[in-house]
Amino acid sequence: MSYLHNTWYVAAWDHEVSHEKPLARKILEEPIVLFRDSMGTPQAIGDRCPHRFASLSKGCVKGNSIQCAYHGLEFDGSGKCTHNPHGKGNIPTQAKVKSYPVVERHSIVWIWMGDPAKADPETIVDYSQSLDPQKRFVAKDYLHARANYQLETDNIMDLSHIEFLHSGSLGSDAVNQAVTEVVQEGRTVFSNRLTQNERLHESLEQRYNIPEGQKVDRWLDVRWDPPANMELWVGIAPAGTPEPRQVGKRIPFNHFFTPETEKTAHYWFATSYPRRMGEAGERRANEDIKYLRGPFEAEDLPMLEAQQKLMGDADFWSLKPILLPGDAAAVRVRRVLDQLIKQEQEAL
């Protein structure tokens, strides 16, 4: 499996990384430990102590460094050994670990897995509209998936699946009549979907305060950016509204995937409401994310994990998947990502 390396991956939600407890997380098959230094700045270094290869994440954070729980060597965010409690305290030249560029922005801790000299924070996609905690109350969650991250991307880029897989919650039998379009702007792909005259599932009618049985027009517009970062805006307007996207209310749902290994992925999802809504916004965001975790965990994950099992080690395209109209966006995304990986490898 080849991954895109020179790109920003989501490593964690901001609240997952602390000064108190180091966080162990495998990313692109590399064991990493994340922690906050004494200034609260997130740091990421290789998780394997160079002495006897203990897991540094089992240690504790002291000042700006993490102390190995086995024999006490300490390493800071640059990967340098800052303290040796043994003998005269000399620091062996080999006593260092890999360090990764990290940026905290809009609820996310980003990590750069490629050449550190190329890590430019300016290239991080702007998620301030959905995830800026200064402006919005953001409710966040995490799931671990035993499936390749690109299967996860397929899942979000082709929301036609909600009619079948989520028929008891997010879907309806009108979804397959949606008007869809795929738009590409540079490395960004948009998958836009408008379903008209739809009766939502009663659990969603209640969530959106829609009178029982009242038909709506619903749009599900997803923006994808490499490697596997998505922002979905869901909007609703009374059925028959001309230009519903201009007048309806819309709510963001973010979906971020980072490969852990070839066959496992990290999955972060979130929603948010404006801070000006006060407590009601906070309550709605928390309730929405709790509601969504249900189908994501009980319906999407088992489906994706079963797909992964049946695909085994086979390359996705070698299995010659049948293509349906709803696949256009997911296929475009796979092509963009394949091209970026190819370009990166050719430049080596």
Element holding 246 (H helix, E strand)? helix 244-247
Residue whose C-alpha is closest to residue 166's, from 321, 322, 306, 297: 297
Our CB check for ligand FES shows the closer of 68 and 102 to be 68
Residue 49 interacts, among Fe ion, ligand FES, none and using kind-specific CB cut-offs from 5 to 8 Å, with: ligand FES
> What is each CA distance from 133 to 32, 136, 209, 233, in whole angstroms?
26, 5, 25, 18
In degrees rounded to 5, what are phi and psi of residue 23?
-110, 120
Interface mask toward Fe ion for 252-291; x: CB under 5 A = ----------------------------------------
Residue 98 interacts, among ligand FES, Fe ion, none and using kind-specific CB cut-offs from 5 to 8 Å, with: none
Our CB check for ligand FES shows the closer of 53 and 208 to be 53
Q: How far is the CB of 31 from ligand FES (least distance, A)?
A: 14
Taking CB atoms, the residue at the shortest distance from Fe ion is 300
Q: How far is the CB of 53 from ligand FES (least distance, A)?
A: 6
Q: How far is the CB of 32 from ligand FES (least distance, A)?
A: 16
Number of separate helices (H) and strands (E) present in the chain? 8, 18
Residue 328 interacts, among Fe ion, ligand FES, none and using kind-specific CB cut-offs from 5 to 8 Å, with: none
Residue 224 burial (C-beta neighbours within 10 Å; 0-12, 13-18, 19+): buried
Distance CA 63, CA 73 (A): 14
Residue whose C-alpha is closest to residue 46's, from 4, 79, 72, 15: 79
Residue 300 interacts, among ligand FES, Fe ion, none and using kind-specific CB cut-offs from 5 to 8 Å, with: Fe ion
Tokens of residue 160, six digits: 């036609």
Our CB check for ligand FES shows the closer of 50 and 252 to be 50
Q: How far is the CB of 54 from ligand FES (least distance, A)?
A: 4
Name, in order, each residue with C-beta under 8 angstroms of 177's C-beta and a sequence gap of 6 or more.
Answer: 195, 196
Residues that bind ligand FES (CB under 6 A): 49, 51-52, 54, 68, 70-73
Q: Does 163 bind Fe ion (CB under 5 A)?
A: no
Residue whose C-alpha is closest to residue 155's, from 319, 299, 344, 55: 299
Site for Fe ion, residues 191 to 230, rule: CB under 5 A: none
CB neighbours (10 Å) of residue 116?
12
Q: How far is the CB of 30 from Fe ion (least distance, A)?
A: 29
Residue whose C-alpha is closest to residue 77's, from 97, 48, 106, 59: 97
- Using the rule CB under 5 A, give the single segment among 75-83, 114-122, 300-308, 314-322 that binds Fe ion: 300-308
Q: How far is the CB of 85 from ligand FES (least distance, A)?
A: 9
Our CB check for ligand FES shows the closer of 5 and 83 to be 83
Our CB check for ligand FES shows the closer of 56 and 125 to be 56
Tokens of residue 215, six digits: 């038909």
Q: How far is the CB of 70 from ligand FES (least distance, A)?
A: 4
Structural contact between residues 273 and 136, judged by C-beta atoms closer than 8 angstroms: yes
Distance CA 128, CA 83 (A): 39
Our CB check for ligand FES shows the closer of 68 and 216 to be 68
Q: How far is the CB of 260 from ligand FES (least distance, A)?
A: 24
Structural contact between residues 192 and 328, judged by C-beta atoms closer than 8 angstroms: no
Name, in order, each residue with C-beta under 8 angstroms of 185's C-beta and a sequence gap of 6 or more.
Answer: none
- Using the rule CB under 5 A, give the single segment among 29-37, 232-240, 295-303, 305-313 that binds Fe ion: 295-303
Of the residues 300, 308, 330, 337, which one makes contact with Fe ion according to CB under 5 A: 300
Residues forming the site for Fe ion (CB under 5 A): 300
